[in-house]
Amino acid sequence: MGIPKHTRIILMTDDERPTREYGISRPVVILLLGLTLVMVGFLTLVLISYAAQIRQEHHYQGLRDELTAAHTQLEDLAELTGELERMRTFQERVLRILGVEPVAEATEDSLVPWGDSAPRGTAEALRRAAQAVAGPTPDLWPAAGYVTREFVRGNTARGITPHLGIDIAGPTGAPLVAAAEGRVFRTGSDEYLGNFVEIQHGLGYVTVYGHCSRIAVQRGEKVARGQVVAYVGQSGETSAPHLHFEIWREGEAIDPRELMIGDPPRQ
């Protein structure tokens, strides 16, 4: 059935007002139908586009969640890596303290010294282990000169400033020696200590040599008792050249005079 040339629309009311009649031509009807189809098509495209955006947003949200999870895993991995590195560093430190060198390929010749020095029994093995753990006692005065400041444990609550070592005055460039056999654990520069050396003596003692003018050893180096490790200086927070010397036992600073006999040798 085709569209008539003229379409008549009659509006009838319930009251006594006259009936209204409108006429619409075929072109107008066709135009209205076309506009209706265009609007329907436009709304359909809008709905399809909105649905696609919703699906894309869900996809992006899934990607964001996966990215967040990946970042969390990376952070956990970085923390685990850091923990493993700290464990490796601690292991190396313990091995250096025990005097264990990097393991080389075992040969018949290389096993001979080990066989000659191997403990002859359980008692000797325990004695060696105890000696390695306790370490040699740092009882040698590291510098010649005069003690200008003694050890003070201090009490900050009572206003007593701690001084966790002994100051030994001496001329710049005078040698400083290791108080006992050990291995250099750390060297560096500090705001207070200036140039300093830390030596580990077994697992029991650590000695610190501060305000040095020059360091004569390197980290990881094994040193003998009385070996020169640094030289007197005036680096860090000090007004005159001297050695600031500390002894730590099992993580606690002690008065060096507990281990040292008498006073430092004179210049």
- Tell whether 125 is covered by a domain: no
- 223, part of any domain: yes
- Indicate whether 188 belongs to any domain: yes
Give the long-range contacts of residues 260-267, CB within 8 A, separation 24 or more: 260/139, 260/140, 260/141, 261/139, 263/141, 263/146, 263/147, 264/141, 264/143, 264/144, 264/145, 264/146, 264/147, 264/168, 265/141, 265/144, 266/144, 266/145, 266/146, 267/144, 267/145, 267/170, 267/171, 267/174
Residue 115 lies in a domain: no
Residue 190 included in any domain? yes
Which of 21, 49, 72 is the endpoint of a domain? 72
Q: Which of 72, 98, 119 is the last residue of a domain?
A: 72
Q: Which domain holds residue 164?
A: 146-258
Number of domains in the chain: 2
Say if residues 199 and 185 touch (Cβ distance below 8 Å): yes
Of 37, 57, 72, the residue that ends a domain is 72
Q: What is the pLDDT along the chain (267 residues), one digit of tens a residue?
A: 565 666 666 666 666 666 766 666 767 777 878 888 888 888 888 888 888 888 888 888 888 888 888 888 888 777 777 777 777 766 666 565 555 554 444 444 544 444 555 566 676 666 555 555 557 899 999 999 999 999 999 887 888 899 999 999 999 999 999 999 999 999 999 999 999 999 999 888 999 999 999 999 999 999 999 999 999 999 999 999 999 999 999 889 999 999 999 999 987
CATH number, domain with residue 237: 2.70.70.10
* Cα 246 to chain centroid, rounded: 27
168, 252: one domain: yes
Whether 264 maps to a domain, the answer reads no
How many helices and strands (H and E) does the chain possess?
Answer: 3, 12
pTM score, whole prediction:
0.54
